[in-house]
Amino acid sequence: MLESLVNPKNTEKGPWKMFFIGLLYASLSLLGVKWAFSQDFVLYNYAGMIVVLFCVMFSLPFMYFLIKQEEKEDEEVEGFFGVWRVHKDAIYAFMWLFLGFIIAFSFWNVILGDSNLFNAQIETYCAINSPSNMEGCVSGYSFENMQGATGAATNQMRFLSIIENNVFVMIFTLIFSLIFGAGAIFILAWNASVISAAIGIFTKYKLSGIPFGVGRYMIHGFPEIAAYFITALAGGIFGVGVIRNGIRSPKFLRIVENTVILLFLAIVILIIAAVIEVYFTPLLFR
């Protein structure tokens, strides 16, 4: 089994190793879906979601191991800076995993040349960037018919749409982390696949343009995903704290305080990321 060959404990010696895990798992997900479902005309219509599902299944052992480690360390810290000091390595590991997903997804998206593998992701991109012309946007940005879509949103519309979408994702991240700590991996894989689809659109599906595209979307992509992980961390701290101490414990108010601080920080980071995406990134990358 794959989780036996790739030992999650190896990440303790360097969060950067998660980058290569991300490359491996994202590649296996895309190639596996292409090989297994390309002849199934029903399931292949949902290939974009199945790719994310495969990536989640591959990554769950690592996520479960990291979450369990963080839960143990939660018992020994208090206050915002104490929480950050203890959990920053895990956040760095998630960021490296996220980057690995994006590089692999972007690479195979161009090599395989199959828009079906990111059909849901392209629709999400168009819902944010061209809501008034969804059908034309999706059709125009397919691999087979790459052209500029019309009906693009104004900066203000895009900003509000991005904020709405990001807060929605943040809420789901919080819910997933409360129900099942490792469930936050779905948010990680989904956002990596959406950004990779956007990179393909931006570079017109040219392999040589991937580094440039990664640079463009990571300027705001890293703050966004960091906010989601902070949210997942807040949900995990709250859930574990309540279970272990109960709401009548003197520690409960401190747990609530730490959770609120982390959620507030995540919202601030999301707003900053949206400002960068709408107003600054287009000035640097045209």
Domain boundaries, the chain: 14-117+151-284
Q: What is the predicted pLDDT for the residue at 3?
A: 56
List pLDDT tens digits, range 116-132. 888 888 888 887 766 66
Residue 278: CB atoms within 10 Å: 21
Mean pLDDT (the chain, rounded): 79
**225 CB contacts (<8 Å, ≥6 apart)?**
94, 95, 98, 188, 191
The predicted model scores a pTM of 0.81
CB of 48 closer than 8 Å to CB of 119: yes
Q: Is the pLDDT of residue 275 over 70?
A: yes
50-85 in b/e burial notation, b at 16+ Cβ within 10 A? bbbbbbbebbbbbbbbbbebbbeebeebeeeeebee
Spell out where 181-271 has E strands: none
Rounded-to-integer distance, Cα 186 and Cα 19, Å: 17
